[in-house]
């Protein structure tokens, strides 16, 4: 009997919290329905950005080069998270953490040199050729 009361006293706050969250969500949805705008222009029900006139095709082809650049940005942006985490815990991780971050930065430098040597980061004259080819392809399909 005592253990069931203990279990109930532990579950009750979670149940009350869950119920209050659902009530707040229901209240917000109800108020949004009551207070929200009620208009029906032609553009509102269009597929592209409600309320904005369609200016072209939404499904354009983008060269792979731009996707690669976006992936490189994500990779090298996430490195900052790991390095900052290491810096915050510098005193706790000791020499093991130091050598770990040295190896991590070394690998990042090797990857950066590899990308640079293969031309993946080239936005010089060759990069401009890629953009011009994209514009030609876009104009030929339009």
Domain boundaries, the chain: 2-37, 64-141
pLDDT in the model for residue 27: 97
User: The domain 64-141: what is its CATH number?
Assistant: 1.20.58.1610
Say which residue, 142 or 120, is predicted with more confidence: 120
pLDDT tops 70 at residue 54: no
Three-state SS string over the chain comes to CHHHHHHHHHHHHHHHHHHHHHHHHHHHHHHHHHHCCCCCCCHHHCCCCCCCCCCCCCCCCCCHHHHHHHHHHHHHHHHHHHHHHHHHCHHHHHHHHHHHHHHHHHHHHHHHHHHHHHCCCCCCHHHHHHHHHHHHHHHHHC
Tell me the pTM: 0.43
pLDDT tops 90 at residue 132: no
When pLDDT is cut at 50, 70 and 90, the band that residue 17 belongs to is very high
pLDDT in the model for residue 79: 86
């Amino acid at each position: 009997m005592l253990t069931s009361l203990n279990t109930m006293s532990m579950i009750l706050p979670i149940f009350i919290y869950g119920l209050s969250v659902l009530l707040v969500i229901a209240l917000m949805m109800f108020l949004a329905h009551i207070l929200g705008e009620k208009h029906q222009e032609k553009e509102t029900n269009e597929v592209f950005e409600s309320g904005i006139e369609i200016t072209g095709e939404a499904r354009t082809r983008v060269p792979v080069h731009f996707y690669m650049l976006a992936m490189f940005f994500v990779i090298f942006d996430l490195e900052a998270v790991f390095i900052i985490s290491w810096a915050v815990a510098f005193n706790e991780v000791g020499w093991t953490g130091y050598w770990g971050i040295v190896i991590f930065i070394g690998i990042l430098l090797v990857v950066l040199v590899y990308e640079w040597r293969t031309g993946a980061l080239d936005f010089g004259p060759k990069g401009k050729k890629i953009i011009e080819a994209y514009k030609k392809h876009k104009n030929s399909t339009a």
